[in-house]
Chain A
Amino acid sequence: MSDFAIQTDQVSMSYGGHLALDQLTLNVKRGEIFGFLGHNGAGKTTTVNILTTLLKPTFGQAKICGFDIISDALNARRQIGYAPENIRLYDAMTSQENLRFLAQLSGIENVDKTIDDTLELLGCQDLKVRRVGTLSKGQRQRIGLAQAILHRPSVLFLDEPASGLDPMGVQMLRDLIVRLNAELSMTIFMNTHLIGEVAKTCTSIGVLSHGKLVYTDTIKAVMERFGDDEALENLYLSVTPTSKNQEVA
């Protein structure tokens, strides 16, 4: 069994003539909460789309728990849970119906019990029979998270999970991420541009700028080196060039 939950080797992605991801080489160990930082358009979502097998890279290789995302995509998918930014489900169906459908596609056998257990874990059993179209943003995010962890994946991908949430929602999400990591031993890969959240939640970080990975280390090492949360922000700003042509210091 591979020690790494995520391995990428020179993964590149170009749309037309635009290079969205430039030779990304990254290793994330099992059990980590990895914060993937970067400005808007840095290539974070493209990275998650590639790692969740939704998008084929134009160059390079990537593996999830040792399974190649192209040649062994179905096994790679069995290892992952995915909650996209602004989670959307079938509005006309209840949370339970949406979760049942996605659980069935994941090949879960005891579907109803799994849904109950997952909703209980997330503290949102009251949303079970409500139509998704009637849920608030925060409630949708919870059901979105529920669908991503139904099959207890080894690696959970969260794309801007705190986007649009109020401070209370952000706090609850943070606690949830830490619990999922601790109680279910999930490796969590979290795209975000909220530096404060990364400092409070993650165990390691990577910084992406204009498609290039410009920095990666453990949070512990970052804190030892730079001191506090504010220093993390300074680090982020120092390694993120304002223009693509600017060299990283």
Chain B
Amino acid sequence: MAPLHIMTAALQVSLRDRTVVLIAGLFMALVLISAYLGWSATTTVHEVYLKVAEAYATKGEIAPSNPVSNTSPLELLRNMTTYVALIGALSGMVLGNKITSVDRKSGVYPLMASRPIGAASIAIGKILAIIVSISSLLGFAALINVGTFWVLPNISLNADEWSRLAQFYAASNLYVIAFGFLGALFAVTSRSETAALMIPVTIWLTVTFIIPQLTANVLPMAALNPLKSMTAAPTGAFFAFTGAALTPFSIAEAYRALSAILLGFAPSGFQFNSLITPMQTLFVVNGVLMSGVVLAYLGLNASRSDYND
């Protein structure tokens, strides 16, 4: 039961933190804007098509097919991959940091550690809090998208598309949770509160922009673009080595590749250049980081848990 109590308290405190509320609100606002833009663009195209079809009909000609029906409706979500990779990952890091740093900052950690519970219980409670908070955030985004698909004209998702939508959100969840664990890992291990936030941000920038350059020669700005980044990795000894060595940990690439495949905007013949699948990469990185959080708590000195700054 102790991990559940720790999770509840961590969520209670985090929800009252202005930074957390602000960044979660920003992510949700972006999801809403994305949904509105998707709805607006699709509705406009559909209305224009209806007028064109009517004009064709008055001339006695057969109108071409509706462009709204010609593309996968899931493609409308491709901007979500950028939002998740940027603001989603940042939200995850902030949540992970706040959920774990609050005990050290407030001085409550020694009180928790003097209770008849093990450090592993505290770690599990914090991990649950990270998973629940991030899943709630992504769950809200998923609900908005489902609602958008419901109200869009001339669009209905078949069973396979609903399944791929669910898989996309599962992948997004894993991606953001990994950054939550990253934020938590450094919030527990760092002596300084500033370093606790700056180190994960630096790793996030490296994972998003630098590693894709080393593994597949993806230009930094192209890494933000869900279409341009979907290019085949160049050949050569350098990329053969860096690709094999780094791709299993290149979580941003794995997430982008998986999203493109699931949402149907990957170029034809596109393949993820790794020994393991993108979903496996997400699981591996999450597993490694989660174990890191547990080990960090086991090694945390409760009598010296205050930050230096």
Contact = CB atoms under 8 A, between A and B. Distances in A.
Interface of A: 46, 49, 52-55, 74-75, 77-78, 80, 82, 84, 86-93, 97-98, 101-102, 104-107, 147
A164 to B, nearest CB: 14
A55 B106 contact: no
Contacts of A49: 302-303
A50 to B, nearest CB: 8
Contacts of A82: 110-111, 114
B237 interface: no
28 contacts: A49-B302, A53-B113, A54-B110, A54-B113, A54-B114, A55-B303, A74-B116, A77-B114, A77-B115, A78-B116, A80-B114, A82-B110, A82-B114, A84-B107, A84-B111, A88-B108, A89-B106, A89-B107, A89-B108, A90-B9, A93-B9, A101-B9, A105-B5, A105-B6, A105-B112, A105-B117, A106-B116, A107-B116
Given A55-B302, A105-B117, 4 more contacts: A75-B116, A89-B107, A93-B13, A102-B112
A93 B9 CA distance: 9
B66 to A, nearest CB: 53
B16 interface: yes
Most central of B17, B108, B115 by chain A CB within 10 Å: B115
Interface residues of B, number: 26
Contacts of B2: 104-105
B12 interface: yes
Interface string B116-131: 1110000000000000
B114 A53 contact: yes
Nearest to B107: A88
B143 interface: no
A54 B2 CA distance: 18
Nearest to B302: A54
A77 B236 CA distance: 60
Interface string B1-14: 11001101100110
A99 to B, nearest CB: 11
Interface in B114-155: 114-118
B53 interface: no
A90 B111 CA distance: 11
B225 interface: no
Contacts of A84: 107, 110-111
A162 to B, nearest CB: 18
Contacts of B107: 84, 86-89
A185 B9 CA distance: 31
Contacts of B111: 82, 84, 89, 102, 147
A142 to B, nearest CB: 15
B197 to A, nearest CB: 19
A88 B114 CA distance: 14
A16 to B, nearest CB: 13
A247 to B, nearest CB: 30
Contact of A92 (B16, B112, B117): B16
Contacts of A97: 9, 12
B142 to A, nearest CB: 29
B19 interface: no
Nearest to B14: A92
Nearest to A89: B108
Nearest to B5: A104
B69 interface: no
B301 interface: yes
A130 B112 CA distance: 21
Most central of B2, B13, B102 by chain A CB within 10 Å: B13
A107 B116 CA distance: 8
A93 B8 CA distance: 12
A129 to B, nearest CB: 15
A52 B114 contact: yes
Nearest to A131: B16
A89 B9 CA distance: 12
